[in-house]
Structure formats: C-alpha cells, structure tokens
Amino acid sequence: MARMLILYSTTDGHTREICERLQSVVEGQGHQVTLASVTAHPVPDLQDFQRIIIGASIRYGKHSPQLIEFINRNAGILNARPSAFFSVSVAARKPKNSRPETNAYMQAFLRKVSWRPAQLAVFAGKIDYPRYGFFDRLMIRLIMLVTGGPTDPQAVVDFTDWNQVEAFGRTIGGTEG
C-alpha cells in the first residue's frame, strides 16, 4: 500500500473536513495517509510520499495565492508522482460548475500552475454565515443573492455531496498513477 499525503488550503475549515473524509476512505483501503495544511511549518517533505493529493477552497473567485506559489514551487515533484487535485466552492452546487472541465475556477487554476494532476475533482462547499465576520457575511450574502443561493444570515448549508467525496477517495486510493 502507498504512503499518501493529503494537503489542503482552507478558508473556513470545510476543505479540511473533506480531506479528513478522504483520509478515512483511503486509509480504509490500507494506505498510510498524512494530512497537513499547505501553510504548515514545516510542510511534510513531498519526497517522502508515493502519492500526493491537494484540496483547496475558493474565496471570492480565487484559490489562495500561497497555494498557487506552493504548487508552482513544487511542480517538479508533484508532476513526478501520482497526484490529484480538488477544488471546493459553493458555485459547484450548480450542475454547470460541478465538473472540472466546466468549472471556471478549476480551469483558471490549471492555467496558473505547471502541475498536471492525474485526477481532478470539484466539490460543492458550505455556507456558514454565523461563523463569518461582518464583511465576509455581507459579501457572501450579496454573492448568494445574485446567484440564487441562501441569504439568511443564520443559515448553515452544506452543499457537499459526501458520496461524491467518498467515490473520489476510492479512486485516488485505488489508482496506481
């Protein structure tokens, strides 16, 4: 079985929750999994792993600049290993944004990096208004108003298809490259 690294870049913690579910699925297939943030100090040595999976959230239409920098700095090792990437956004709740090839954020990400993961996925995220600060709550409510999403300032809505997450976990745990 493989030694796998699951790295994440999260804004409010939901991407980490998705990574934890992936970790559970992949460990259930007999793999050894290390879970870490791309902003951890230090980040685990990528050379120590046979497979690398990275998950990242979208906030205001962009992945974290630190994530992009990390990936471009480590593109050589990422491209040399079986790898996967997934993106998490509330926009992915809509069918037209739910696949890597039709998700504008995923396509923009792929144009910014020289890494070419073997597997890609897009997962719908979560709205958690009570957790947000004033500015984020206001801005996200405005975005949701425009895009037909929930605007109740007390709403907590998880759009994630956990069956899809688990299926992706089985794929990355069962694929040799």
Task: Find out whether 129 and 153 touch, Cβ atoms under 8 Å.
Answer: yes
Q: What is the pLDDT of residues 124-163, one digit of tens each?
A: 999 999 999 999 999 999 999 999 999 999 999 999 999 9
Average pLDDT, the chain: 95
- Residue 137, pLDDT score: 95
Query: Span 165-174, mean pLDDT?
Result: 95
Query: Span 24-42, mean pLDDT?
Result: 95
Q: How confident is the model at residue 166 (pLDDT cuts 50, 70, 90)?
A: very high
Please give the backbone phi and psi of residue 172, each rounded to the nearest 5 degrees, phi first. Answer: -70, -25
Model's pTM, two decimal places? 0.93
d(CA 16, CA 47): 22
Domains of the chain, first to last: 3-125+160-174 (3.40.50.360), 127-159 (no CATH)
Instruction: Report whether pLDDT(176) > 90.
Output: no
Q: Quickly tell me which residue has 């992706």 as its tokens.
A: 168
Query: Span 77-93, mean pLDDT?
Result: 96
- Residue 164, pLDDT score: 97
Instruction: Report whether pLDDT(41) > 90.
Output: no
Q: How confident is the model at residue 177 (pLDDT cuts 50, 70, 90)?
A: very low
Q: Which residues, 6 or more positions from 49, have their beta carbon under 8 angstroms from its beta carbon?
A: 2, 3, 4, 5, 34, 81
